[in-house]
Structure 1
């Protein structure tokens, strides 16, 4: 991969991971409710789980859709159901003091597994592989996954810190409740393009 193509790939990866989407909304909410330290497993789950998904897509997992077209519908149903479940959890998240006692952010495995039912993640992975590793060359796929690891560090940290900084505004339980309900509604709204397809 030439330096020019890698620069284009890195720009593409950064723009796709740092723009609002389900992962970033959940990280901001986790930062607001649990802080940076407790959100680290969630951050690492996204930061490593999505590049792992890119590797699998680059190595041909998407052929499953060609072999069994109903699998796309199954994935869509699971995605919507899980996103609605997460929106419900976000809407009902406890205030920070209560959250420290009983609530907890997504674990590493939960966040990594979420990538497989995240419509934005599928779109990003398919686009990145199509644009920057069209021949499915192993090294090109590894470069794409590596670019996403690098850009995810910046993105996951930024969104979680943004949420953590909002804690000073959200120290009032009523404000936090409104914030969580708005974030849940935005997460549900992100499903509209998926459902319209």
Structure 2
């Protein structure tokens, strides 16, 4: 029995989950504009969806592989439009706005994962690439899906903490920060098509 290459598996998981992407950018922006509590609410939704996507990938991998081009095109369109919408919302955000915001909720964190091509591609590749060649039992796949979900949660929380640590600096330069965060989201949306 072969053993999974844990080092390359962990490096892949950490690089994909900790690097800036649409979910992490929205988390940082939410901390900046509405505080850690709202960002954690978003994080819980994003984490739950992340784990669900990993589970779906593990269970339905063979079916998804046969229809992946159609799924990717649809996800690219939906994901790009949603990211551009979020970019616009972040750009026009003001501190004086009420704390009720669509991007700082459990539901928006959950939804973002399903339209975030970075997450969808990651969840569709990590299990079949690193786990399934060595382990195919339901318990092993569930254990790896849980471990990857925990790594993702730690990545999201890291972005929340980053936002909390630099909140005053970010608040002082709010408009510039909002523009930068919006531009990162626009960039993420455009990178889908590159």
Q: Offset at 1:91?
A: 1.1
Change in Cα spacing, 1:21 to 1:116, as seen in structure 2 (3 Å) is same
In structure 2, the residue corresponding to 1:98 is in which secondary structure? coil
- Deviation at 1:144? 2.5
Tell me the residue number matched to 1:56. 56
Distance 1:126 1:71, change over 3 A: closer
Show the counterpart of 1:178.
176
Cα distance change of structure 1 residues 3 and 164 upon mapping to structure 2, 3 Å threshold: farther
In the aligned structure 2, how far is the partner of 1:112 from the partner of 1:6?
A: 28
Which ranges in structure 1 are unaligned for 5 or more consecutive residues?
none
Question: TM (normalized to structure 2)?
Answer: 0.84
**1:58, 1:133 within 8 Å by CA — same for their partners in 2?**
no
Shift of 1:4: 6.3
Instruction: Please say if residues 28 and 163 of structure 2, whose CA atoms lie closer than 8 Å, have aligned partners that are also in contact.
Output: yes
- Whether the 8 Å CA contact 1:45–1:109 is kept in 2: the answer is yes
Partner of 2:105: 107
1:128 to 122, 126, 129: 126
- Change in Cα spacing, 1:71 to 1:15, as seen in structure 2 (3 Å) is closer
Q: 1:9: how far off?
A: 3.2
- Alignment deviations for residues 97-146 of structure 1 (CA, whole Å, 9 cap, x no partner): 5343x446432122112111101102211221122233554233212211
SS at match of 2:74: helix
Q: Distance in 2 between matches of 1:91 and 1:30?
A: 12
Unaligned runs of 5+ in 2: none
Structure 1 residue 98 corresponds to structure 2 residue 84: no
**Corresponding residue of 2:47:** 47
After alignment, is 56-65 or 44-53 more displaced? 56-65
The 1:142/1:34 distance shift into structure 2, 3 A limit, reads: same
Structure 2 residue matching 1:20: 3-state secondary structure? coil
The equivalent of 1:193 in structure 2 is: 191
8 Å Cα contact 2:38-2:104 kept in structure 1: no
Deviation at 1:74, TM superposition (A): 2.3
Cα distance 1:89–1:150, how it changes in 2: closer, same or farther (>3 A)?
A: same
Aligned length: 192
Matching of residues 1-197 of structure 1 within 5 Å: 5-6=5-6, 8-60=8-60, 63-64=63-64, 66-67=66-67, 70-95=70-95, 97-100=96-99, 102-103=100-101, 105-134=103-132, 137-172=137-172, 175-196=173-194
Q: CA deviation at 1:86?
A: 1.0
